[in-house]
Amino acid sequence: MSLFDHKISELHSLLHKKELRVEDLVEESYKRIGEVDDKVGAFLALNEDKARAYAKELDGALGTKDSFGLLFGMPIGVKDNIVTKDLRTTCSSKILENFDPIYDATVVNKLRSAEAVTIGKLNMDEFAMGSSTENSGFKVTKNPWNLDHVPGGSSGGSAASVAAGEVPFSLGSDTGGSIRQPASFCGVVGLKPTYGRVSRYGLVAFASSLDQIGPITRNVEDNAYLLQAISGLDPMDSTSANVEVADYVSALKEDVKGLKIGVPKEYLGEGVDEEVRQSVLDALKVLEGLGATWEEVSLPHSKYALATYYLLSSSEASANLARFDGVRYGYRADNAENLIEMYKQTRSEGFGDEVKRRIMLGTFALSSGYYDAYYKKAQQVRTLIKKDFEDVFEKYDVIIGPTTPTPAFKIGEKTNDPLTMYANDILTIPVNLAGVPGISVPCGFSNGLPLGLQIIGKHFDERTIYRVANAFEQATEHHKEKPAL
């Protein structure tokens, strides 16, 4: 049994009884990385010297103080688009392959305040653009359940590292499903918080109106601990919301009796695998048995979400990625004859195909003559999608459906068909467009590959999501399964 099979609360109990040291936890993490990461490929950079030194410092504090951080001594992996001072941050792109930040992201500072130990940086799709972690500029991460399959993306390294037992939990980022989809594919728990719940300061921007940092863990309780630690208003982020942070951990004690669940017919329709559909219906029966009720509802504008998302996110990406020009930091092309040539060569050599594709789409959508037809129209449809959710939430407490339409696909299966790859996020994208929170929890298997149940809540009502997710987890065994690496 791995130490990471214990929950945070259980590990804290062992630490305070002096039956375990923080150094043991950190060594467990690096030992496991040494055993399996050559197969999985989750980590890009390790923080070994500083992590071990900090673990020793925390062990020394165990008998000398009365209060401890919420994540005291817990090893954590951080997605490589979250900046970490003096620890290389590349966004899995060659254009940033030598970038060592001079400051920490707000969430990294909050992890330090909570006394967590940063183990290293995790692989991802380049600049968070992708659904499979095949778009990394450095290596392909593999699904611990079956190494021939993708772990999902863009937070594939974050989900795979937790599923493989390399760290007990990790941070990812979610722009159109990039936490929930890999969590589903890897059989772990992943939450995208309400937009504005967690500071984006220090998250390298892909699409600023959609990006949100969130936790990936092995169980719902740990997820609540991690969100509690990283949430809150941040003066460094103008989109950070001044909304009180609820006590997410205490929500886990509440049952779901009388809870009303809406199940969108659009989420169980065409394109959704029969086994995926059945796993959701089985999950609803479990929740019914716990006292909740459910009815079919409609989110009619969901069918436009995919097109809306790729127009808006690509438009924002084209603006955000203009800063990577070879002038101030990062990769710079050699032998350019003038400034314009240096820009062209740097961006041509530094960015991968998927990033270039989205920059071109976004620049086109924002260009003179096309702005009203594409970008403005997409913003109007986004408002309709948001209104769909508001209408359903007037009558229902949560919305439930599958996280992804299929289980994890094979590596290389969709790389030459970007439109099919994009469609993989069709069930997660509306949540980002509306800015509401959503969580994926394990709910079954198909041919040995995990399936995820998506639970969506009202703005800033992560408490209710955790309440439902925890009740379902406690009534089932799916989360106890582990890949046989």
Write out pLDDT tens, residues 317-370. 999 999 999 998 889 999 899 999 999 999 999 999 999 999 999 999 999 899
CB contact at 8 A, 409 and 149: yes
Task: Say what the pTM is.
Answer: 0.97
CB contact at 8 A, 385 and 434: yes
Domain limits, the chain: 3-259+397-480
Task: Tell me whether residue 136 is one of the annotated catalytic residues.
Answer: no
Residues 355-399: tens digit of each pLDDT: 999 999 999 999 989 999 999 999 999 999 999 999 999 999 999
Task: Tell me whether residue 178 is one of the annotated catalytic residues.
Answer: yes
User: Could you give the 3-state DSSP secondary structure of residue 314?
Assistant: helix
| Confidence band, pLDDT 50/70/90 cuts, at residue 195 | very high
CB contact at 8 A, 128 and 175: yes
Token pair recorded at residue 392 = 């359903």
DSSP characters over 217-269:
ESSHHHHHHHHHHHBS--TT-TT----PPP-HHHHTT---TT-EEEEEGGGGS
Residue 91 DSSP code = T
Rounded CA separation 234/196 (Å): 9
Rounded CA separation 188/163 (Å): 6
What pLDDT is recorded for position 256? 97
* CB neighbours of residue 361 within 10 Å: 18
Domain 3-259+397-480 has what CATH class?
Answer: alpha beta
Q: Which of 92, 93, 132, 154 is catalytic?
A: 154
Q: Which of 92, 158, 170, 178 is catalytic?
A: 178
Q: Residues with Cβ < 8 Å from 199, sequence gap 6 or more?
A: 105, 106, 107, 213, 230, 232, 234, 236, 237, 240
Closest residue by Cα to residue 177 from 265, 267, 95, 96: 267
Task: Tell me whether residue 395 is one of the annotated catalytic residues.
Answer: no
Residues 102-148: tens digit of each pLDDT: 999 999 999 999 999 999 999 999 999 999 999 999 999 999 999 99
In the predicted structure, residue 185 carries a pLDDT above the cut 80: yes
Place of tokens 């300061």: 201
